[in-house]
Amino acid sequence: MKNIQKTAAGSRDRVANGYRLSAIGYRLFCVGLIFIFQFSFFSPTKAQGILGGHVTGNVQLDGQMSHADSVIGADDVPEKLLMNARADILYSNGDFNAGLRLEMYQNPLLGFDAQWKGSGVANYYVSYKTEKFGITAGHFYEQFGSGMILRTYEDRYLGLDNALFGVNVYVRPVEGVTIKALAGRQRYYWEMAEGLVRGVDGEVNLNSVLSFMKESKFRATLGAGFVSKYEEDELIPSEDPTMRLNLPLNVGAASFRADLGYGNWSLQAEYAHKGQDPWIDNKYVYHEGNALLLNLNYSQRGFSAGIQAKRIDNMGYKSMRSLSGEMLYINYLPAITKNHTYAFLTMYPYATQVNGEQGLQADVMYKFKKGTLLGGEYGTDLHLNGSLVAGLDTTITGGAGTEGYTVNGGLGETLYGDVSLEIAKKLSKAVKLTVTYAYQVFNPVVEGEGHKGLPLIHNHVAIADLSWKLNKKHSLRFEAEWLCSDSYYDESDDHHSDRRAGDWLMGLVEWNIGTHWFISLSDQVPYNDGIGNYYNLSVGYTHGATRFQLGYGKQREGLLCIGGICRQVPASNGLTFSLTTSF
Amino acid sequence: MKRILITLIALVLGGVAWSQNAKMPQNITIKTLDGESVQSSVIQNDGKPVIISFWATWCKPCNRELNTIKDLYEEWQEETGVKIVAISIDDARTVARVKPHVEGNDWPYEVYIDQNSDLKRAMGAISVPHTFILNGEGEIVWQHNGYQDGGEEEVIEVVRGLLKEKTEDK
Amino acid sequence: MGLIGFVGLMGLCGCDKIEEGEYTVYDGAAVTWTSGTLTETPVQRVFVEKFTGPKCSNCPLADETLATINDERVVIVSINHPTGQGLPFPGEPDLRTEGGNKWDAWYGINAIPSAFINREKSVRYQGSMTNIVSAINQALNKPLILALDVHAENELTDVHVTVNLKFIQRYTKPITLTAALIEDSLAYKQLLPDGNIDEQYMHNHMLRKVITGFWGSEIDCTGNADESRQGTFDFNVGEDIHLENSHIVVFVSDKASRSVINCASCRVMNEE
């Protein structure tokens, strides 16, 4: 049920000699690189200089020093300095590409799993890609449709990387048709998971393929994908001690999708189905999985409206059945709620419930034109969004080694709901004000089954964000946030030991000096029932594609969420710095 | 193995010394707002410079940047012939909102969707907003990460510089 | 063209459908765990799995090599390969077993004779396997992590088995206990290296049955040093097995990697 980082005990041991294999892969990679250099050397048309080709990439360095603070719950960091670093080095020469990524976690920043500790070449590949055909060998990232059956991606801030190591091919036999095929194993920290992932995907753009649709106002792209994972048999006991699970070793998932448009209207629909897949987080039940995603949007100049519906039933799909937590997902199930960015709007973030959820989201944007009554001199932007997510209404019929449950037609418990209105208005040439109001309902169970039965939390959030351009060189930004919550803090009660409880105020001042420097100072304080005082000072310098940022202050423990995937971040108190550069 | 690696890196870095500016990746699949898959080679401007801006619907500085440039874009185009290509990295969670967002904001840019960040990754960008400038030959001549008020001036200055170089070459 | 490839690939990576009512399978005797005491001096033994078959002409060579090891600490299990040279001669006993087939598949046996020590999948011994002897000796000299002994009491074909184990060193990863029944002195046809058939070749250590689950039964323990556990289980030998020639083999393995930590064996029939 949880979508929060936690690691199954002993799961690490199930990752077999990934290193040996990757050593072979690595050798292949080296040979590939040498081949490319040879190629560029002998290719008279493409060579530029002796070797030809180009190198691009980026380097990122993040450091953290934290000391104990019992009020916010920060622990001491015995090694004093924690550091994550990585460098992507990409080589391209015509249709050839190669890349490698060095990563170092010595030791990983707070909130990153201890298994990240280490350093080395974490990712490498060679690829040859043309318009008609492409092949990548090594680590690759791929997505079928919206990712409901397959998406490999990395998010360095969440500490996620489920890259497949293997071969990925695409073919475009005619314009508008793409067929992809892949096979590989997923990265698991510094090793590789044993589970094998294979998939094919096809997509047809009807406007390109059908001559009578070439000029049509009706636009249509259809697609279908199929993914299968194979994992060896293992002993998983059933409730009866003399019985074990008869595990499906190959678990397939298929999806069908359509992307349609007509004039200002667009509709995206995807349906996915997954075969029997008993795994730890669905409590090893044999219920098949399915998911449906619908997006309907209307848009025109200055106005847009959209509605999104999603239903997931048992769609957690991993290449290691005994692993809980966020690693080794083969598919991607994003949250259906708005992706908020303000601090207090993300204090109680929603996380996708892969075992079952159903939800709706509606979104309206409107621009009042300049010179109208509400538009004023510079126009006014309005953004209204609402979402509601509930669990599935299920009847439990058994435990491990049974069908598990049946789904009834209704709604399960409320998991999350919010409605937000954002109004942005330029008050003068130099001043722009954005005000936001939101109401949230949050069920703590989305952060783990341990929170089952806790009362719903209701929040009002109000935010004012004002930017003021003083002159050509200096600008200021002020942000004030207010959170009013019916949750409360009580140290003696386990159910109310959440440090984010209560009502909060936040203030932020940001000063931009030219286009290179910024200084920002912020403070978050609970004034009723809460605990802690989270101040932060940061200074940043940007030059071209290089950024350096230095921060000092306190970080609240909580969930760091990106795209509905969340990671628990412990409290910290101290210095952080970050250096990134692209070249 | 380590030795091989070091040799290779040396080779690669050695290569840079001879190479011109990197070309923008040509065969990465991106999508149009209508859902059609196209190759990244569609991004070009008949020998004139291109500004590529990676953004996302949820990224506040990105929206500030693209909204600010919107008011200047007509002038920029008249003066330099530059074209702005805005590439969204919104993933499945928000990707359906990209087209409404673009039209709702009335952005006059050419917009593509890079849903799994393939192009962003291939171009070495880490976070959004990230802006690249391509010269008339499609080579990456400048890049910038982040946006602060006034950043747009730096962008157009680089474009102007490119055009100046070009006339001087002639 | 592409469509054909597409359909072909879809067929290739199928998905398994398990019928309702078959979600669970019999996992062998249920082991009950209580605290216990070791009844024998702790000793490191070594578990040897040998895959063999009646139509495999080189298999007797492996038997010869293994027969030279006259050490009670070496526990050998012979597993009849399920296909090819493992198939029985017409009218001859079929020594293939469900458990043996599973183990065979896990190793991915494609040629026999093949042997493995302590279920270390990566090192395979083949042919006459003369190099296995020194490897066995090396494995015997490993520092002892866990000691175990096994005892059986039978009443006709009903057998009650007691396993005692003790952690000499701390080992906290999940571990399993697997028990198997093996039979010696089974005389039936075997192809010999010279191409002749020995009508009455003496087959020893033949796996007849995996008593517990194929991959064992998880041991209820904490894994701290000096911890002692006793496991007991009952099973029925079945009709076609000669009790007097049979042994019970038990081995403790790491649940995840399946490598064997230690093993023991005892006769099914009481000594007296």
Return the pLDDT at A36.
Answer: 47
Task: Report the relative pairing of strands A572-582 and B83-88 from DSSP bridges.
Answer: unpaired
Residue A160: other Cβ atoms inside 10 A: 19
- The structure's pTM equals 0.81
Query: Closest to A252 (Cβ–Cβ): which among C15, C20, C214?
Result: C15
State how far residue A173 is from chain C, nearest Cα, in angstroms.
Answer: 7
pLDDT of residue A51: 60
By residue range, what is the domain housing residue A152? 11-582
Q: What is the mean pLDDT of residues C11-39?
A: 82
Distance from CA of A141 to the nearest CA of B (A): 8
| Contact predicate A391/A357, CB 8 Å | yes
User: What residues of A are in contact with residue B150 (Cβ under 8 Å)?
Assistant: 472-473, 475, 512, 514-515
Of A214-218, A492-496, B71-75, C250-254, minimum mean pLDDT range: A492-496
DSSP state letter for A281: G
Which range among A425-439, A554-568, C238-252 shows the weakest confidence by mean pLDDT?
A: A554-568
How many domains are there within chain C?
A: 1
Residues A72 and A74: their CA atoms lie apart, in Å, by: 6
**DSSP H or E stretch at residue A271:** strand A265-274
- Any CB–CB contact under 8 A between A3 and chain B? no
Q: What is the pLDDT, as a whole number, of residue C135?
A: 94
Assigned token pair, A252: 């397939």
Structural domain contains residue A77 = yes
Total structural domains within chain A = 1
The model's pLDDT over C99-146, given as tens digits with 9 standing for 90+, comes to 999 899 889 999 999 999 999 998 999 988 989 999 999 999 999 999
Residue from A231, A244, A285 whose CB has the most chain C CBs within 10 Å, to mutate:
A244
User: How many Cα atoms occupy the beta-carbon half-sphere of C142 within 13 Å?
Assistant: 22
List CB contacts (< 8 A) between A178 and chain C. Answer: none
pLDDT at A18: 41
Tell the residue number behind the tokens 């805005």, with chain if given. B86
How high is the pLDDT of residue A27? Answer: 53
> Is B97 part of the contact surface with chain A (CB cutoff 8 Å)?
yes
Residue B70 placed within a domain: yes
The 10s digit of each residue's pLDDT in A73-116 is 888 888 889 999 999 999 998 899 999 999 999 889 888 888 99
Label residue A482 by pLDDT band (50, 70, 90).
Answer: very high
Q: Tell me, what's the ipTM? A: 0.88
Report how far residue A541's alpha carbon sits from residue A94's, in angstroms, rounded to the nearest whole number: 35
**pLDDT, tens digit (0-9, with 9 covering 90-100), for A142-158:** 999 999 999 999 988 88
Residues B17-68 have pLDDT tens digits of 444 678 889 889 999 998 888 999 999 999 999 999 999 998 888 998 999 9
Residue C15 lies in a domain: no
Domain assignment present for residue C253? The answer is: yes
Q: Is the pLDDT of residue A486 over 70?
A: yes
A226 touching C (Cβ < 8 Å)? yes
Which pLDDT belongs to residue A496?
72
Q: Is the pLDDT assigned to residue A19 strictly greater than 50?
A: no
Of the residues B9, B88, B142, B148, the best mutation for testing chain A's interface (the one with the most A CB atoms within 10 Å of its CB) is B148
CATH code of the domain containing B134: 3.40.30.10
pLDDT of A192 reads 94
Q: Report if residue C73 sits inside a domain.
A: yes
Confidence of residue A137 (pLDDT cuts 50, 70, 90): very high
- CB-based contact (8 Å) between A346 and chain B? no
pLDDT of residue C177: 95
Interfacial A residues in 191-220 facing C (CB < 8 Å): 198-200, 202
Rounded to 10°, the helix B60-80/B151-169 angle is 30
Residues C151-158, mean pLDDT to the nearest whole number: 91
User: What is the rounded CA–CA span in Å between residue A516 and residue A541?
Assistant: 5
Contacts with A356 (C-beta within 8 Å, 6 or more apart), sequence order: A312, A313, A314, A391, A392, A394, A407, A412
For chain A, give the longest Cα–Cα distance: 79
Residues 20-59 of B with CB under 8 A from A: 20-23, 25-29, 34-37, 39, 41, 57-59
Percentage of residues in chain A having pLDDT higher than 90: 63
Cα separation, B148 vs B131, in Å, equals: 12
Q: Is residue B10 part of a domain?
A: no
Give the distance from residue A204's alpha carbon to the nearest chain B alpha carbon, in angstroms.
9
Residue-number span of the structural domain to which B158 is assigned: 21-169
CA distance B9 to B7: 5
The CATH number of the domain holding residue C68 is 2.60.40.10
Q: Which helix (H) or strand (E) holds A377?
A: none
- Tell me: the pLDDT tens digits for C45-86? 999 999 999 999 999 999 999 999 989 999 999 999 999 999
- Cβ contact A243–C2 (<8 Å): no
Q: Is B36 helix (H, G, I), strand (E, B) or coil?
A: coil
CB contact residues (below 8 A), chain A span 266-295, against chain C: 275-276, 278, 286
Cβ pairs bridging A and B (under 8 Å)? 231
pLDDT at position A353: 94
Quick check: do C and A touch, 3+ CB pairs under 8 A? yes
Q: Is C40 left (phi over 0), alpha (psi -120 to 50) or beta?
A: beta
- Cα A52 from Cα A30, distance rounded (Å): 18
Kindly list the partner chains of chain A, i.e. chains with 3 or more CB atom pairs below 8 Å.
B, C
How high is the pLDDT of residue A4? Answer: 44
Distance from CA of A74 to the nearest CA of B (A): 28
Question: A373: Cβ–Cβ under 8 A, 6 or more apart, which residues?
Answer: none
Interface of B with A in 140-169 (CB under 8 A): 140, 142-146, 148-151, 153-154
| Residue numbers in A near C30 (CB within 8 A) | 241-242
CB neighbourhood size of A528 (10 A): 13
Chains that touch C (3 or more CB pairs under 8 A): A
Q: Tell me the pLDDT tens digit for each residue of A26-52.
A: 555 544 554 444 444 444 333 343 367
CATH number at residue A339: 2.40.170
Q: Domain for residue C240, yes or no?
A: yes
Tell me how close the Cα of A198 comes to any Cα of chain C, in angstroms.
7
In a domain, A509, yes or no: yes
Average pLDDT, chain A: 87
Task: Establish if C92 belongs to a structural domain.
Answer: yes
> Could you tell me the residue range of the domain that residue C120 belongs to?
28-267
Quote the pLDDT of residue B6.
55
Cβ of A95 and B25 within 8 Å?
no
Between chain A and chain C, the number of residue pairs with CB atoms below 8 A apart is 115
Q: What is the pLDDT of residue B104?
A: 85
Residue partners of B133: CB distance under 8 A and separation at least 6: B49, B50, B51, B52, B140, B141, B142, B143, B155, B158, B159, B162
Residue A394 lies in a domain: yes
Is residue A106 included in any domain, yes or no? Answer: yes
C25 to A403: CB separation less than 8 angstroms, yes or no: no
On the question of pLDDT at A180 being above 50, the answer is yes
The total of other beta-carbon atoms located within 10 Å of residue A217's CB is: 8
Cβ neighbours of residue C138 closer than 8 Å, sequence gap 6 or more? none
Average pLDDT over residues A278-289: 95
Say how many domains are in chain B: 1
| Interchain contact, A266 vs B99, CB within 8 Å | yes
